[in-house]
Amino acid sequence: MGEGWGEGYYGSQHYTDEGLEADRVRDEALAQLGLIVLRFDNGQVMKQINDVVERIYQHCLKESP
């Protein structure tokens, strides 16, 4: 499969045992499709957007051919 990306913004439900397990299963399924998951919580997106953008940018540089 090809490569791609998606985005999601995550709240506190992702820090419960059930949420963490669901995220793990979802990440594995996405990896099977050739996708890489970078997770950012709502606080990071709202209060540290420059750091979020930099992390995404650095990841793209690392993965670029």
Task: List, for residues 51-61, the tens digit of each pLDDT value.
Answer: 999 999 998 89
In-domain check, residue 25: yes
In-domain check, residue 7: no
**Range name among 5-9, 21-25, 34-38 with the lowest pLDDT average:** 5-9
Predicted local confidence at residue 4, as pLDDT:
62
Per the prediction, the chain carries an average pLDDT of 82
- Residues ≥6 apart with Cβ < 8 Å to 18: none
**Domain with 17 in it:** 12-63
Task: List, for residues 30-43, the tens digit of each pLDDT value.
Answer: 889 988 888 888 88
Number of independent structural domains in the chain: 1
Handedness of CA 15, 7, 29, 58 (dihedral sign): negative
Of 44, 48, 50, 35, nearest to 14 (Cα)?
44
Q: What is the CB-side half-sphere exposure of residue 15 using CA atoms within 13 A?
A: 7
CA 31 to chain centre: 11
